[in-house]
Amino acid sequence: MAQLSVEHLSKTYPNGVTALHPCDFAIERGEFVVLVGPSGCGKSTLLRMIAGLEDISSGQMRIEDRVVNHVEPAERDIAMVFQNYALYPHMTVYRNMAYGIRNRRVPAAEIDRKVRDAAQMLNLTEYLDRRPAQLSGGQRQRVAMGRAIVRDPALFLFDEPLSNLDAKLRNQMRIEIRALQQRLGVTSVYVTHDQIEAMTMADRIFVMNAGRIEQIGTPAEIYHRPASTFVASFMGAPPMNLLRGHGTGTGAVMLSGGLQLDLPMPTDAGRDLVLGLRPEDMRLSPDGPIRFDIQIVEELGATRLLHGQLSEQPFTVAVSKETQAGPGIARLAFAPDTASLFCGQKGHRL
Amino acid sequence: MADPVSTPRRPFRWSAILDHGVLIAGALFMLIPVYLALTTASHDKLLIQREGLQWGFGDQAGANFSAALFQSGGFTGEITGATMLMNSFILGIGFAIGKIVLSMMAAYAIVYFRLRFATLAFWVIFTTLLLPLEVRIVPSYEVIQGLGLANSYTGLIVPLLASATGTFFFRQFFLSIPEELVDAARIDGAGPVKFFIDILVPLSRTMIAAIFIIMYVYGWNQYLWPTLITTEEGLFTLVRGIRQIVQAMAEGSEIPDYGRAMALAIVAMIPPVVIVITCQSWFVKGLTESDK
Amino acid sequence: MKRARFHHRLLPVLLLVPQLTIIVIFFYWPAWNAVQSSFFLQDPFGFGSQFVGLDNYSRLFRSAEYMKVARFTLIFTLLVTGFSLGLALLLAVKADKVIRGARTYRTLLMWVYAVAPPVAGLIGVALFDQNIGAMTRLFSGLGHDFRLGVNYLDTAAAMVIVSVWIQTPVNFIFFLSGLQSIPQGVKEAALIDNPSGLRRFWEVTFPLLAPTAFFLLIINITYALFDTFGIIDTLVKNNPASNPMTLVYKVFIDGFRGNDIGGSSAQSVVLMVLVLILTVVQFRLLERRIHYT
């Protein structure tokens, strides 16, 4: 059964700005869903609408079987972890975690048990009497998690919870959050602008852009079969190469620099097309069909990025550390089924 | 082994002497008038009249201060320095508390609620920042007179509350509190009243202390309004009492009692000065926040 | 300004009512009365009043005495503002520079903030007293016979000195806090770019301090116009006679001594307009400040 489902959900502000165009989706019990997109794409608005912090302009939202459009945040059986943690600075860790359930008039003994259980789970037991200012960033993050866990909610909501941590801690917390979610089995909606977080944590990813959900899919689907040029360029690092060209009518693309590539799909003659090629799907091959002019080599340790020109368009190729390459002319080859083809005008996948 | 390196001595900075010289001169400019008031307050009026203001301490301090505090004065002879001290505390503390309560409530309404007439309320309140009481002193007096509030603590304190300074301070402070805390509180099931009591008030403690100090000093130091509104001597504050002394001196029928007058001046400045010095960092923070 | 808000209708109204009630009764009502009675001539014995249009105003601007008071107010304001800002800036720059004793200096230079203007005035009366005053003796040592309350210029000088004494601390506090909020990186960059301390101050520090200075300028003008009432009233020993006085003091004298309610109200309105102009200027400067930060 769906834990959260929405129909024709949309958000328009009083000043006429539409933050979210009507959308429909359902999230299954125990799923970890990541909303990802650039800033201003509406992902946080959607999350805040689920939380009840933002009004719903039209459409319907259900948590389990209950319509929650006009239910107060505290009554929705949700918990939220905020970007800046939103810990109450004047309360101890213990009181921060207990505040929500205390307001629900849970018996004191039960509050104590729940807080201590959560603290144990998060290695916070020895910090229960401290205030947030006396904790490190990672510890504050855990307290924010603890506050959510204590509520024992039907739905966890995360609003860019890792964006204030340094890179190393971010990687570690990413794994911790995912492990915790799997252990507790709580349905989660997680907002981020970081596509790596989205790829590594999600069961399903919602890619959003300009108030619309562009694609819903598993990380593999999003990565290998992006639904639009936006998704193709947003997901993956380095991003997918997008080459402009037009169809020849004979199952090939004529790139705007004059190079013709054969593809295993029909192409309407004269139609504007965008050909998408993942940098890591390309390989250097002395007798490959494509001429690639390498200009800069970026050393990343495990891999090496070759930046240059392909048919007079910028192009990047990722090769393994064993492959030697330097500036100059090289030849490329790729498996045709790894290519994506998009409409040149509207950007959708063909 | 390399040759031992000799660390060059830092050249003596003559400018440091200049810096300290300027600061010491400034500090003396601030201190000397009050020091002279203090020394003068320890001498007999005849000695002062004969030899001028005194730079050293004399033996009449006890007599002058007890006269300033406990000897009856004024036309009716009903007012002592101690009564005035009491009234000053009532004005200072009453004004500060009234200001904090009113302005915190108003700022809370303005910042945290969606109000139909928010802009109007905002302007109605903040226009008061423009016109100090001194500008509209005569009509204000008439209004209080008409309401029968002259010669009452209410008439003394409440009209002074009709300005937005505190509201402005609190508004600025509330706007600096992260919005996420409101969201978190709403998810934690705290309504507006609970949020105010459980979260906003505890978070504002430092700000409340700072505003209390500023307003207490402001209330304590009020002069013009108390002068107008209290004609009964039993309601005089210390600062209002200064006027009485100056008037008595101006009449010049007897030798001006500078010893007692300076003693009263010292008594009138000690409570605000002490609180400003002891709570310096709060007070400075509160004051300069308003600049933001 | 986007804010998470509570959705209640009655509560915010209840929260605002006390403040609004007090403001309406004790601010708008008197202010309105002032405007109204500035168009009437009131019988000194309180028997009715007569509509006279702009007579009170034209009487005001034709009055040589009022013009003299206005001129004094202008000069007084300029002197008090100039001296107290200049002195405070000098002290703040030095206090920001020294390392040893910084806290002590700060305390010593700010505590006078808490002294009430009339208390300062009373100390001034003693210092400038004709027979016993220390300042009077200092002046007579310099060959000048200082006569407070008798000589117009002497009284004016005493008013300026006492006002500067009491206004310098607040300026000092703001300047010091402004100096301390200049980012360390900027100070260090200036140290590398510019060897001359004085030029560093005028080319880097002072422009960054300008917003604070603008703000203080308005505060000081307001102070010199209104808050000096207690100083003036004590220094003239409640006997204005031919002594210098400021516009606010004249409102008080005419309203309560002269019983000229109409004239006093017209003066109030003139002051209100003056303050409104100052405020508009302040807002425009505040707008410009935003570009700095």
Per-residue pLDDT tens over the stretch C86-104: 999 999 999 998 878 888 9
From chain B, pick out residues whose CB is under 8 angstroms from the CB of C6.
112-114, 182, 186, 191-192, 195
Q: Is the pLDDT of residue C44 over 80?
A: no
Query: What is the band of B1 on the pLDDT scale with cuts at 50, 70, 90?
Result: low
ipTM of the complex: 0.88
Give start and end residues of each alpha helix (H) in chain A. Answer: 43-51, 93-103, 108-121, 137-150, 167-184, 195-201, 219-224, 229-234
Of C90, C108, C212, the CB nearest to B22: C90
**pLDDT (tens digit, 9 = 90+) per residue, B51-81?**
888 888 888 888 888 888 887 765 556 678 8
Gap from B3 CA to chain C (nearest CA, Å):
31
Asked if residue A178 has pLDDT above 80, the reply is yes
Q: What is the mean pLDDT of residues C132-155?
A: 86
Torsion of CA A176, A179, A182, A187, to 10 degrees: 20
Tokens of A163: 């964006």
What pLDDT does residue A45 have? Answer: 92
Residue B272 has pLDDT above 90, yes or no: yes
First to last CA, chain B: 59
What CATH number is given for B81-288 in this structure? 1.10.3720.10
Distant-in-sequence, close-in-space partners of B238: CB < 8 Å, separation ≥ 6? B81, B84, B85, B87, B88, B264, B267, B268
The band of C4, judged by pLDDT with boundaries at 50, 70 and 90, is low
Highest mean pLDDT among A109-118, B127-136, C274-283: A109-118
For the cut 70, the answer to whether the pLDDT of residue B292 exceeds it is: no
Pick the range with the lowest mean pLDDT from A182-191, B4-13, C273-282. B4-13
Q: Where are the domains of chain B?
A: 81-288
- How many angstroms separate the CA atoms of C204 and C259, rounded? 54
**All domains of chain C in start order, with CATH:** 50-181+210-289 (1.10.3720.10)
* Euclidean distance between CA atoms A99 and A115, whole angstroms: 10
Contact C31 B113 (CB under 8 A): no
Average pLDDT (A141-160) is 91
Q: Which of A315-329, B188-202, C72-86 has the lowest mean pLDDT?
A: A315-329
What's the token pair of residue C162?
A: 């006492």
Residues A85-118 have pLDDT tens digits of 899 999 999 999 999 999 888 899 999 999 999 9
**Considering CB atoms only, which of A73, A74, A84 is closest to B180?**
A84
- Looking up tokens 């406990």 gives B70
> Measured between alpha carbons, how far is A18 from A13 in angstroms, rounded to an integer?
6
With a CB cutoff of 8 Å and minimum separation 6, the contacts of A263 are A251, A252, A253, A275, A336, A339, A341
Q: Nearest C-alpha of chain C: how many angstroms from B5?
A: 26
How far apart CA C25 and CA B26 sit, in angstroms, is 44
pLDDT tier at C290 (50, 70, 90 boundaries)? very low
Sign, CA dihedral B47-B53-B57-B63, equals: positive
Cα–Cα distance list, C183 to A102, B284, C102, C186 (Å): 44, 19, 19, 5
Q: What is the pTM of this model?
A: 0.86
Q: What domains are there in chain A, each with its CATH number?
A: 4-233 (3.40.50.300), 238-343 (2.40.50.140)
C-alpha dist (Å) from residue B159 to B66, B154, C120: 33, 8, 25
C163, amino acid identity: S
The 3-state DSSP class for residue B105 equals helix
Q: Which residues of B touch A84 (CB under 8 A)?
A: 178, 180
pLDDT of residue C230: 92
Average pLDDT, chain C: 86
Whether pLDDT at C46 is above 80:
no
* Rounded Cα distance, B288 and A262, in Å: 70
Calpha distance C223→C78 (Å, rounded): 11
Of all residues in chain C, the one with the smallest CA distance to B259 is: C126
CB atoms A48 and B183 under 8 Å: yes
Q: What is the DSSP letter of A132?
A: G
Q: What is A222-286 written as a DSSP string?
A: HHHS-SBHHHHHHSSSSPPEEEEEEE-SSSEEEETTS-EEE-SS---TT-EEEEEE-GGGEEE-T
